Every structure is written in structure tokens, then in C-alpha cells.
Amino acid sequence: MKNTTKIALQVFIMIFFIGFPVTSVDAERYLPWVMEKLVGKEAPEFTVKDLSGKNVSLSSFKGKPILLNFWATWCPYCRKERPYLNSLYHEYKDRGLVIITVSTDKSAKMVRRYAKKVPMDMVVLHDTNNKAAETYNIGS
């Protein structure tokens, strides 16, 4: 594996498995070990819109290796990982890898503007109400 690939995978694992409390009322939903219940199970389904407004379901990629990445345009770590994810996608797309990036930004317009500036050849989705993020224990 190239160094870039290793770094990208480490960043993804770190971001994916760390949950952050969104509210103090139900912060227990965002504890990292809650995700341990999903290990070895089918990934929870969600449907969100892509940047053109089309609904996209996780299940539409069933049978393919998927790297699922939650991010936001305002997040400095997310901005830093974009080129690594793009590089990883180009390195493994011929082997069937699908990288699905799910933005948790409030504004789809902001995500589209960011996507024009920063190359993102992978699937880019926008989770307007953060339901997909909550399903995966992702918060900010």
C-alpha cells in the first residue's frame, strides 16, 4: 500500500469510529462503543440526495466494497483528507471500490461550491437532516 493510502485509511477509521455528542439529552447515542454492535452486520440503510438532488440509497451499491465517509466543508480535517480520498478512489476504483462521501453541511449550495473547487471524483451526497449521520453515530 502506498503511504497516502495508509494515511487515508487511518484518517477514515479515526473519524468513522469516534462519535461526538450532539446534545446532552441523548449523548449516549454518540458513544463510540455503540458502533461495536454493527461490526460484522449489514450496514444500516439510508437514502439521501446527491448534489443534483437525486435520491441515492446505500443499498444501491450492495455487493461492492464501500468506504463511507461523513464530512463537512467547515471541518479542517475533512478538508485535509479530500485529496487522500480522491487518490484512494483512483487507485482502487478498477477493483470496484466505491467511496461515498456524505456531507453534513446545512447548505447544499455550500457543498456544491466546495465540490467545484476541490476534486471529488467519488460519490458526493448531502445529508440535509443528519439522519444518515445519526444512523452511523456521527455527530459534531
User: Over the stretch 112-121, which tens digit does the pLDDT of each residue have?
Assistant: 999 989 888 8
Q: Using CA atoms, how far apart are residues 126 and 73, in angstroms rounded to an integer?
A: 11
User: Over the stretch 51-70, which tens digit does the pLDDT of each residue have?
Assistant: 999 999 999 999 999 999 99
The structure's pTM equals: 0.73
Sign, CA dihedral 41-46-49-54, equals: positive
Instruction: Say whether 78 is catalytic.
Output: yes
C-alpha cell at 83: 485529496
Burial level of 116, CB count in 10 A (0-12/13-18/19+)? exposed
Q: Using CA atoms, how far apart are residues 101 and 81, in angstroms rounded to an integer?
A: 11
Q: Using CA atoms, how far apart are residues 94 and 97, in angstroms rounded to an integer?
A: 7
Residue type (1 letter), 1: M
Give me the catalytic one of 56, 58, 67, 78.
Answer: 78
Residue 111 has pLDDT above 90, yes or no: yes
